[in-house]
Amino acid sequence: MLLPSLAIIIGLLLLVWSADRFVDGAAATARHFGMSPLLIGIVIIGFGTSAPEMVVSAISALDGSPGIALGNAYGSNITNIALILGFTALVKPVLVHSQVLKQDLPILLLVTVISAYLLYDMQISRLDAGILIAMLAIYMTWTIWQSLRHKNHTLPEELQQQKYMPLSKALLWLVIGLMLLMASSQLLVWGAVEVAHYFGVSDLIIGLTIVAIGTSLPELASSIVAARKGEVDLAVGNIIGSNLFNTLAVVGIAGVIHPMQVESAVLSRDVLVMSVLTVALFALGYSFKQKNGYIGRFKGLLLLMSYIGYNSYLFYTAI
């Protein structure tokens, strides 16, 4: 138990440091290429911080452990909205851009509904997985096309005041930060899974809790750092982008590698909670009086309480 415990501690320390470097590199890269922080959050950070989920789910599928693969994807989505956004809002209230409310959140909700429909027959075939990956390709192509159409973006004041960073250095920190995010996340997950197995916890519960939290820690670290730096678009875009990648890429990759039978609890419990939280994210972020939405500390506390309640139920039913 000593080695897994050390892995958890070292993984956490590396994760916090690399998240700071990653966000700095992402923000500086956005300035050099004229891309909005929101786009960087959805595309680059969303993909980069979902890489641990992709790796873990692919390995789980190869090993014939669909519980970890699916629990990792859907558990990470629940963690992203309830734990990460909730905690981020407590650190600093989060502004929800009007583009997120009108465009990105509806897309995430649509993707969530379609993924739930594909699970209705309680299996993920290679055809289902191919549909998910094709949807991701369409979304990415459309997002990049939209960005190229609107090159003139006004960066937040905090980013405008950021010390100039050469493109080479920005890309270096982006790559190093991403690699360390992945490595530290994997180290942390390995230690956590070893501890969980020691206590005899099932693969699905491990995927929904330990692995989901572990692979979502890059999103947590990046979102908190982004919020503290005033990059609220990065924080929200990061979560939306990560959930899209988890639902489409993580499940899609695992399904292509190894078609999976789905436990009934995944659809009736986990996908249901994920869908409710996605709708709640839209409701909490919507504003009737202003163009942009706002998730304050009280709403963040509600999200955190829902996460605690969900996990308490998981552990209660697992006993």
- The confidence score (pLDDT) of residue 219 equals 73
51 within 8 A of 182, measured Cβ to Cβ: yes
Closest CA to 147 of 41, 249, 294: 41
205 within 8 A of 68, measured Cβ to Cβ: no
- The confidence score (pLDDT) of residue 155 equals 46
Contacts of 173 (CB under 8 A, 6+ apart): 21, 22, 24, 25, 28, 165
- The confidence score (pLDDT) of residue 296 equals 84
Closest CA to 281 of 267, 265, 266, 302: 302
pLDDT in tens, 27-40: 787 778 776 666 66
As for how many domains the chain has, the answer is 1
CATH number for the domain that contains residue 262: 1.20.1420.30
- The confidence score (pLDDT) of residue 159 equals 46
Which residues form the domain of 223? 2-318
What the block records as the tokens of 97 is 């851009």
**What are the start-end ranges of the E strands in 104-211?**
123-124
pLDDT in tens, 305-314: 999 999 999 9
Round to whole Å and give the CA distance between 232 and 29. Answer: 17
What residues of the chain score a pLDDT lower than 50? 152-161
- The confidence score (pLDDT) of residue 156 equals 45
- The confidence score (pLDDT) of residue 44 equals 61
Element at 198 (helix H, strand E): helix 167-198
**pTM (2 d.p.):** 0.79
What the block records as the tokens of 56 is 């873990």
